[in-house]
A = this chain, B = another copy of it.
């Protein structure tokens, strides 16, 4: 799924990602009392060009005024209408280790429509406890709880060796989106959103560029 239709226009996935970032920048602006903003101002905050911003906004059919630029409040609302899900989406974390907990803390409460409603861990000392008021279940209960709590998105932070089996269970249970942070690539059906991020790959790219830059001297 690389594009999506909104108002009968095709929207690239990359635009969706940028809209999320624009909104974040805009929210900070409103806190500062700003009411209007120009495309080049948005561009300066995020890492994009003013043209890119205008093009993205064109795609979602949002218009600014020539002299004042874009109305921040309205723009936030329009982006939210696109990105957000009225009823909200339920999320669960699988693997409540150091990394899972760090993500939990960071994510918890940041977006009102995105709710962490369960955690899963195989460690018997964790099962049955609450972390940030959210109950920790045994992985045996994945199917049951995912259905009962209508969980749609999974954050996968189990050990790499467990990734494949857990991912399979998730898909079978009806999960529709997985953020896979284990270093094991997983496969999912077409109708399941998948994102895989690994800091080591990024670090290797960084090191490569450092090397390249030094050689250029």
Chain A interface (Cβ < 8 Å from any Cβ of B): 1, 4, 13, 16-17, 20-21, 24-25, 45-47, 82-85, 89, 91, 98-99, 101-103, 105-107, 110-111, 113-114, 152-153, 155, 176-179, 183, 185, 187, 191, 193-197, 199-213
State which of B46, B47, B213 has its C-beta within 8 Å of the C-beta of A191: B213
State which of B47, B82, B177, B204 has its C-beta within 8 Å of the C-beta of A206: B177
Q: Is the interface of A mostly helix, strand, loop or mixed?
A: helix
Closest 3 CB pairs of A and B: A177-B206, A193-B209, A98-B102
How many copies of the chain does the oligomer comprise? 2
Interface pair B1/A207, CB less than 8 Å apart? no
Interface pair A47/B185, CB less than 8 Å apart? yes
CA A47 – CA B178 in complex, angstroms? 14
Using CB atoms, name the residue of chain B closest to A97.
B102
CA A114 – CA B211 in complex, angstroms? 12
**A202 surroundings in chain B (CB, below 8 A):** 179, 195, 197
State which of B185, B205, B211 has its C-beta within 8 Å of the C-beta of A46: B185
A-B contact pairs, 21 of them (CB 8 A): A1-B209, A16-B208, A21-B185, A24-B183, A47-B185, A47-B196, A85-B208, A85-B211, A98-B101, A101-B102, A107-B199, A111-B204, A114-B204, A153-B206, A177-B207, A179-B199, A179-B202, A179-B203, A193-B205, A193-B206, A195-B206
Q: Which of the listed residues A91, A153, A206 has the most CB atoms from chain B within 10 Å of its own CB?
A: A206
